[in-house]
Amino acid sequence: MQRRSFMAGAAALGLATPTSLRAQSRTEIQFWHAMPGVLGEVVAEQVKRFNASQSAVTVVPSFKGGYIDTMTGAIAAWRAGNAPHIVQVFEVGTATMMSAGPAIRPVHELLGENGVALDPKRYLAGVRGYYSDTKGRLISMPFNSSSAIMFLNLDAFAKAGLSTTDLPTTWAQLRQASEKLKAVTATPVPMTTSWPTWVMFEQMAAMHDVPFATLANGFEGLGTELRLTGPLFVKQVEYLLAAQKDGLFRYGGRDNAADGLFVAGEAAISFMSSSLRSRLEKEAKFKWAAVPLPYHDDLTKSPKNGVIGGASLWTLTARNRTPAEYKAVAAYFQFISEAEQDLWWHKSTGYVPITLAGYEKARAEGYYAQNPGADAAIIQLSRAEPTPNSMGFRLGGMVEIRNIIQEELEKALQGQQGAAQALESANRRGNVVLRNFEKANKA
């Protein structure tokens, strides 16, 4: 069959258009996702748009609970012989999915076998880096991506006599700003953070081009070991401990527990997912700004790309899966990668556009001029070509490792240990997780 490029969201890979072959039976594709509520409605609309663009494939979306439930459920379904064709898996589940071996079909293989040419460089640097192998080949399809960025309460900054246009870019400048915010009690506390491990460890390692773990953060093999006792991490934890001691920082809890502190005006500075923008637009009672995360200017003058959060789409195999089914999956992946669809997704969800073309279309339309700061995460994700330290993380048991780091950080913030001891303990405990994962997945 002659292969044709996907145009105007219609025919691809020899698939029928809405005006031809209407009697042809459709190939049905099961798509399991973890997007609840409004985001789930957007996923359903995206699928509807694809289904209407051609008449050979019907994608059926199904919400399967949170990220962990969706991933473990899909793997269990594969073992039982009834896996979905596509499953959405959060970024820290990448190593687990890669270890699934014959259960997955790498995206670069899927697309290549079906004549779909999607150059990985079409995607934002921080996005493609996370979901590619060491040869730069996509192993899963980028989907919903965000990054951690810095949010600032501009009303509080004005009250403290700080500029609302020349905003802080370094940790040293934030310390100075926090002291001025505290002096006038602009907010109950100057600074807080959501996602402590993602922001203070993973993002900082990538931006400062420092290894979080050996073997390119796990991209190069299962024998990786954590490097959490390095100078950058000691500096970062000591910064937080000193800020808390001086009343400049409040720990708001694990994961996204601290989101509400900034939204409610309790903190003037916070580090949160860029996807919080839509909530702030609805709930915040003050003027605010969104900018890239700060960096230590005594360690780098040119920070690298940050790393993403969110999830990607994985193709699962099955004993009786047909070439037509794989071709249909490839067509859906091509459709959601088109600039027009990417732009629609970006505007509808608040996630970043995953393609450079989608970003450029939004910029050309004046979207970022009308919505200042909506491109903060994009700038952060694309400002440098990913290095082995900033591609992302391919560590088994990453969810458990994150919790270990948070536990040890909490002990330090509670005065039970210093920064060095906290990091040594996190490093030792995290390496046990890595060794257990290695043993379980070694061929």
What's the average model confidence in pLDDT over 3-19? Answer: 40
Let me know if residue 100 belongs to a domain: yes
The CA distances from residue 364 to 278, 334, 372, in Å, are 22, 23, 14
Highest mean pLDDT among 37-41, 135-139, 250-254, 350-354: 250-254
355: β partners: 123
- Model pTM? 0.82
**300-334 pLDDT per residue, tens:** 999 999 998 899 999 999 999 999 999 999 999 99
Residues 115 and 218 in one domain: no
Tell me what percent of the residues of the chain surpass a pLDDT of 90. 74
Band (5; pLDDT cuts 50, 70, 90):
very low
Residues 52 and 114 in one domain: yes
Let me know if residue 268 belongs to a domain: yes
Let me know if residue 375 belongs to a domain: no
Predicted pLDDT of residue 442: 80
Let me know if residue 92 belongs to a domain: yes
SS3 content of the chain, % helix, strand, coil (to 5): 45, 15, 40
Band (348; pLDDT cuts 50, 70, 90):
confident
Please report, for the domain that includes residue 56, its CATH number.
3.40.190.10
Let me know if residue 13 belongs to a domain: yes
Band (89; pLDDT cuts 50, 70, 90):
very high
Q: How many CB atoms lie within 10 A of CB 23?
A: 6
Burial track 190-213 (b if 16+ CB lie within 10 A, e otherwise): bbbbbbbbbbbbbbbbbbbbbbbb
Q: Which of 369, 402, 420 is the last residue of a domain?
A: 369
Among the residue ranges 42-51, 196-205, 376-385, 402-411, the one predicted with the least confidence is: 376-385
Band (19; pLDDT cuts 50, 70, 90):
very low
Contact 88/351 with Cβ under 8 angstroms?
A: no
Residues 320 and 404 in one domain: no
Residues 48 and 197 in one domain: no
Band (101; pLDDT cuts 50, 70, 90):
confident
One-letter amino acid of 413: L
Q: Is the per-residue pLDDT at 352 higher than 60? A: yes
Nearest CA among 366, 394, 331 for reference residue 132: 394
What's the average model confidence in pLDDT over 16-37? Answer: 74
Residues 184 and 302 in one domain: yes
Look at the chain and report how many structural domains it folds into.
Answer: 2
Predicted pLDDT of residue 381: 87
Predicted pLDDT of residue 16: 46
Predicted pLDDT of residue 24: 60
Contact 194/270 with Cβ under 8 angstroms?
A: yes
What's the average model confidence in pLDDT over 227-236? Answer: 98
Residues 118 and 33 in one domain: yes
Residues 242 and 390 in one domain: yes
Let me know if residue 376 belongs to a domain: no
Residues 237 and 214 in one domain: yes
Let me know if residue 16 belongs to a domain: yes
Q: How many residues does the chain have?
A: 443
Tokens of 52: 């209407």
Contact 72/372 with Cβ under 8 angstroms?
A: no
The CA distances from residue 241 to 135, 153, 194, 335, 419, in Å, are 40, 23, 16, 48, 8
Residues 206 and 219 in one domain: yes
Mean pLDDT across the chain, nearest whole number? 91
Band (443; pLDDT cuts 50, 70, 90):
low
Q: Could you please report the per-residue DSSP string of 367-400?
A: HHHHSTTTTHHHHHHHSSPPPTTTS----TTHHH
Let me know if residue 374 belongs to a domain: no
Which structural domain range is residue 47 located in?
A: 2-146+308-369
Q: Which of 318, 335, 369 is the last residue of a domain?
A: 369
Instruction: Name the DSSP class of 116.
Output: -
Tell me what percent of the residues of the chain surpass a pLDDT of 70. 94
Contact 293/271 with Cβ under 8 angstroms?
A: yes
Nearest CA among 319, 315, 341 for reference residue 329: 315
Band (120; pLDDT cuts 50, 70, 90):
confident
Residues 44 and 104 in one domain: yes
* SS3 state at 28: strand
What's the average model confidence in pLDDT over 358-372? Answer: 93
Residues 132 and 156 in one domain: no
Q: How do 57-63 and 27-33 pair as beta strands?
A: parallel
Give the residue ranges of DSSP H helices in 292-418.
Answer: 323-337, 339-349, 356-364, 367-370, 376-382, 398-413
Residues 272 and 421 in one domain: yes
